[in-house]
Structure 1
Amino acid sequence: MINLAERHQFILNKLKKEGNLNVVELCQELKVSSVTIRKDLKVLEDKNLLFRTHGGATLTNPYIVDRPVNEKEKVQSTEKLKIAAAAAGLVEDNDSVIIASGTTMQYLAKSLPPRMGLTVITSALNVALELLKYPTVEVMQLGGLLRKSSSSVTGTYAEQILADFFCSKLFLGVDGIDLDFGLTTTNAMEAQLNRQMIKVSQKTIVLCDSTKFGRRGFGKICGLEDIDHIITDSGVSEHVVKTLEGLGITVTIV
């Protein structure tokens, strides 16, 4: 049996490689009890070497706080532009799509071909304003309670409008993707609207940079089983990609 220091080093090395850890897997690999592993994780968290999560641990703080959209625009902007360009390539002429809220969604609106015939339903004011520049894009702006931090609307009115339509694709931005908990955002009402968007879409495509993995927001949108395609950047771990592909989700890395 390896000693305490060796066990801790094994845990940190595995975490650095995979980005996330599972208590059950660590028990099997190290041949110790779950009580021992949980104590190990607490010690390492107290030393600021990891963050404990439900059933495991992660390298990044899994708890997300809401930030204004103008702050979010400056974070991972290069990656978001590449992700948006890849997503724009999935839009077909005469498509009817939903573009949800978020800074990556605004980049997507900017990346669409200028002369494409398209119908877009959106909850995001910044997306709608971008699409005003496109003469052949018809925009349906959802109405409701304005959420200033994201420049988008939420609420039952927006959900009721969506119930009358069905679209080929939903482009969805999230604040967190956790392999166990699923997709989340920092606002519960936005999460509820996102769930309605998923219901009225044939395919759900998530656009998120790699910093969103292993994190959780306040409001759960859905489980991974409701997602068809994820577009992210090269910072995502190989372990996460294999897990997602094992669930039948297409993963595009830009």
Structure 2
Amino acid sequence: MSKHDRWSKLLELLAAEGRLDVDAAAVALGVSPATIRRDLDELAEQQMLVRTRGGAVAHGVSYELPLRYKSSRHASEKQRIAAAVAEMIADGDVVGLNGGTTTTEVARALALRAGGSRSERQRWDPADATSPLFTVVTNALNIAGELAVRPRVKIVVTGGVARPQTYELVGPLTVGVLNEVVLDVAVLGVDGVDPELGLMTHQEDEASISRLFAERARRVIVVTDSSKMGRRAFAKICKLDRVDVLVTDSALPGETAARLTEAGITVHAV
């Protein structure tokens, strides 16, 4: 098991339990206690946990994995979801993307689609900046960075204060920009989908921005792997009646899909 894999597993265990014991973690990962101690020391240096005698604890009650460690989880499912969503976007659409690993994959799929075929790239005049294939409005710095170099994607980045865990911009500056735009579609990544409470995420400031994305859009597409279905998180984004389409993976239980369909949501399991 590589160091990256060990760290990801340790952070997952910490997120689930709130604390880690060196000996128990060593057994769970099949490595020596000395290796676990070194890993915890390095993670503590990066301020991703707090070292304690014999183990470690999370920084707070509501703990979330940093984006760079979540990106490898359910990777193939997220890529299939992203490819399906990219086909749902019409040429010329203004697309809102909040932050997250699945929406990052959606951004990459849109970038590939905007690249077009070789003949289309040859016909397109780079000087014609007035007719991008897509306009993407995002509060995610990593998504903006990936799309900024794509000549056929117009990228609009909100202002705001950056959260280091998710690279999302939040706060009044973000709200100010979103209140001035109109979106054809908002593609939202979430941390939980509850049949009664709706869409949820870990942080209340990110939830308010995602809610505004939904309010500014004509159509709302939720993208999430099936592990998030039926899960609750701390902060509510919006109810399910605001969602038009949900794209997830094929592991979605049939009864859950039926319940969502009865609520008026178009479900795509890919």
TM-score bracket, shorter-length normalisation: 0.7 to 0.9
Q: Which residue of 2 aligns with 1:75?
A: 73
Is the partner of 1:149 in helix, strand or coil? coil
Letter in 2 for 1:75: R
- Structure 2 gaps of 5+ residues are 1-60, 116-131
Q: Which residue of 2 aligns with 1:107?
A: 105
Alignment of 1:184-203 (within 5 A): 184-203=200-219
Q: Which residue of 2 aligns with 1:118?
A: 134
Q: Distance in 1 between matches of 2:92 and 2:70?
A: 31
Q: Which of the residues 191, 209, 225 maps onto 2:225?
A: 209
Q: Report if the CA contact (8 A) 2:114-2:134 is conserved.
A: no
In the TM superposition, what is the alpha-carbon distance from 1:82 to its structure 2 partner? 0.3
Under a length normalisation based on structure 2, what TM-score does the superposition of the two structures give? Answer: 0.69
Q: Which residue of 2 aligns with 1:181?
A: 197
In the TM superposition, what is the alpha-carbon distance from 1:64 to its structure 2 partner? 7.4
Alignment of 1:1-254 (within 5 A): 65-112=63-110, 113-115=113-115, 117-254=133-270
What do you get for the CA RMSD once the two structures are aligned?
Answer: 1.3
Q: Which residue of 2 aligns with 1:14?
A: none
Q: Distance in 2 between matches of 1:91 and 1:130?
A: 18
Letter in 1 for 2:162: L
Q: Report if the CA contact (8 A) 1:64-1:216 is conserved.
A: no
Q: Which moved more, 1:128-137 or 1:171-180?
A: 128-137
Letter in 2 for 1:114: A
In the TM superposition, what is the alpha-carbon distance from 1:189 to its structure 2 partner? 0.3
Q: Report if the CA contact (8 A) 1:120-1:140 is conserved.
A: yes
Aligned-residue sequence identity (percent) comes to: 35
Under a length normalisation based on structure 1, what TM-score does the superposition of the two structures give? Answer: 0.73
Number of residue pairs matched by the alignment: 192
Q: C-alpha deviations, 1:44-70, integer Å up to 9, x for none?
A: xxxxxxxxxxxxxxxxxxx97411001
Is the partner of 1:114 in helix, strand or coil? helix
Q: Does 1 or 2 have the higher relative contact order (CA < 8 Å, sep 6+)?
A: 1
Q: Which residue of 2 aligns with 1:54?
A: none
Q: Which runs of 4+ in 1 moved over 4 A?
A: none
Q: Distance in 2 between matches of 1:143 and 1:132?
A: 15
Q: Distance in 1 between matches of 2:72 and 2:143?
A: 17
Q: Distance in 1 between matches of 2:88 and 2:196?
A: 28
Is the partner of 1:90 in helix, strand or coil? coil
Is the partner of 2:114 in helix, strand or coil? coil
Q: Which residue of 2 aligns with 1:45?
A: none
Q: C-alpha deviations, 1:70-101, integer Å up to 9, x for none?
A: 11101100100000000111111111110111
Q: Distance in 1 between matches of 2:62 and 2:227?
A: 11
Q: Distance in 2 between matches of 1:124 and 1:140?
A: 10
Q: C-alpha deviations, 1:87-141, integer Å up to 9, x for none?
A: 1111111111101110111111111113461111001111111112311111011
Letter in 2 for 1:95: D
Change (3 A) 1:216 1:64: farther
Q: Which moved more, 1:127-136 or 1:79-88?
A: 127-136
Is the partner of 2:89 in helix, strand or coil? coil
Q: Distance in 2 between matches of 1:91 and 1:182?
A: 24
Q: Distance in 2 between matches of 1:111 and 1:241?
A: 25
